[in-house]
Amino acid sequence: MNETLMLVLAGAVGLVLGAVFFGGLWWTVRQGVSSPRPALWFVGSFVLRTGIVLAGLYLVGGGQWQRLVVFLLGFVIARFLVVRLTREPAEIPNSHAKEASLAP
Tens digit of pLDDT for each residue in 13-65? 999 999 999 999 999 999 999 989 999 999 999 999 999 999 999 999 888 99
Residue 3 has pLDDT above 70, yes or no: yes
**Largest Cα span, the chain:** 65
- Does this model's pTM top 0.85? no
Sequential DSSP letters for 26-88 = HHHHHHHTTSS-HHHHHHHHHHHHHHHHHHHHHHHHTT-HHHHHHHHHHHHHHHHHHHHHT--
Residue 96 has pLDDT above 70, yes or no: no
Rounded to 5 degrees, what are φ and ψ at 63? Answer: 75, 10
* Res 87: pLDDT: 86
Taking alpha carbons only, the member of 70, 77, 76, 82 closest to residue 11 is 70
